[in-house]
């Protein structure tokens, strides 16, 4: 079986602001069709790294190549990816269908009945077909996240970025959302890059991951999160995946 070619290549990346370096010597690849998790402790730079991958920030050094295209050309033309932000980022005065129509209006000539049909199809895909005419304030938090995913899919991207998709959701709703992410990746072949700290989500959806470390300003572990949980001898990584305190790790090693 042929290995999947990289969808994203990050090579010797250095990021930060002004004289402050947040991360350096960061290199990794994201396989096409995989679900790739960016993990780490608070303040390690997970969401910041995601901003660079999306293209909202420019690196201090190194390169990010997506679909074989690097700086500055990867920012040209219609977006080739979709993004789900933590809050869902829906416009409160617009119905779900109107929110979904925004990418079509911004990047395509599609309008009218065709646009409505496409919006309805995406809402059906995420289980919200009957709620097209409701406002964001009239639906639950989990439904807002699903609507955000539907909007992220409107331009038919093969790459999605998710920032803490399960944040603020109850366990059952979070599990349903995780299953939707798995379905999108498996059935549609979409590459998903996800920032999360929710262990159940990590073990369910992620094929591969990197673990960021604030102190070393870089990656301290890489691989299948289930294998890292069982095999890593790095104390922080073991504690992260097993929810152990540093003291518990020290006791375990004695």
How confident is the model at residue 194, as a pLDDT?
96
Token pair of 7 as six digits: 């969808």
Summarised one tens digit per residue, pLDDT across range 128-178 is 999 999 999 999 999 999 999 999 999 999 999 999 998 888 999 999 999
Q: Has residue 235 been placed in a domain?
A: no
Q: How far apart are the first and last CA of the chain?
A: 43
Whole-structure pTM value: 0.89
Token pair of 34 as six digits: 């995989």
Q: Name the residue range of residue 110's domain.
A: 6-222
Contact 218, 26 (CB under 8 A): yes
Residue 170 to residue 174: CA distance in whole angstroms: 6
Helices (H), the chain: 46-54, 96-107, 112-125, 141-152, 171-188, 199-205, 225-231, 235-242, 246-253
**Residue labelled with tokens 């999605």:** 160
Q: Has residue 18 been placed in a domain?
A: yes
Q: Has residue 58 been placed in a domain?
A: yes
Token pair of 226 as six digits: 């289930």
Q: Has residue 10 been placed in a domain?
A: yes
CATH number, domain containing residue 110: 3.40.50.300
Summarised one tens digit per residue, pLDDT across range 56-99 is 889 999 999 998 777 766 777 778 899 998 777 899 999 999 99
Q: How many domains does the chain have?
A: 1
Residue 38 has pLDDT above 90, yes or no: yes
Type and span of the H or E element at 78? none
Q: Has residue 88 been placed in a domain?
A: yes
Q: Has residue 233 been placed in a domain?
A: no
How confident is the model at residue 254, as a pLDDT?
44
- The average pLDDT across 28-46 equals 93
Mean per-residue pLDDT over the chain, rounded: 89
Q: Has residue 90 been placed in a domain?
A: yes
Contact 153, 122 (CB under 8 A): yes
Residue 117 to residue 102: CA distance in whole angstroms: 14
Q: Has residue 244 been placed in a domain?
A: no
Among 84, 80, 77, smallest CA distance to 100 is for: 84
Token pair of 102 as six digits: 């925004």
């Amino acid at each position: 079986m042929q290995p999947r070619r990289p969808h994203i290549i990050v090579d010797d990346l250095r990021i930060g602001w002004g004289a402050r370096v947040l991360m350096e010597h960061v290199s990794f690849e994201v396989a096409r069709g995989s679900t790739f998790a960016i993990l780490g402790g608070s303040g390690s730079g997970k969401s910041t790294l995601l901003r660079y991958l999306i293209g909202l920030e420019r690196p201090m050094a190194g390169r990010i190549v997506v679909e074989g295209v690097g700086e500055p050309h990867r920012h040209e033309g219609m977006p080739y990816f979709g993004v789900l932000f933590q809050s869902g980022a829906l416009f409160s005065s617009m119905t779900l269908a109107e929110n979904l129509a925004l990418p079509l209006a911004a990047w395509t000539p599609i309008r009218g009945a065709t646009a409505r049909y496409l919006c309805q199809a995406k809402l059906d895909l995420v289980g919200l077909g009957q709620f097209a005419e409701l406002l964001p304030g009239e639906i639950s938090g989990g439904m807002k996240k699903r609507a955000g995913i539907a909007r992220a899919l409107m331009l038919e991207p093969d790459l999605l970025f998710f920032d803490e998709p399960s944040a603020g959701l109850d366990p059952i709703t979070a599990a349903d959302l995780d299953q939707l992410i798995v379905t999108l990746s498996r059935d549609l072949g979409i590459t998903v890059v996800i920032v999360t700290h929710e262990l159940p989500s990590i073990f369910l959806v992620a094929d591969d991951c990197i673990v960021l470390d604030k102190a070393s300003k870089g990656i301290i572990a890489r691989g299948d999160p289930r294998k890292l949980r069982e095999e890593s001898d790095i104390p922080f990584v073991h504690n992260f995946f097993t929810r152990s305190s540093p003291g518990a790790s020290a006791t375990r090693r004695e």
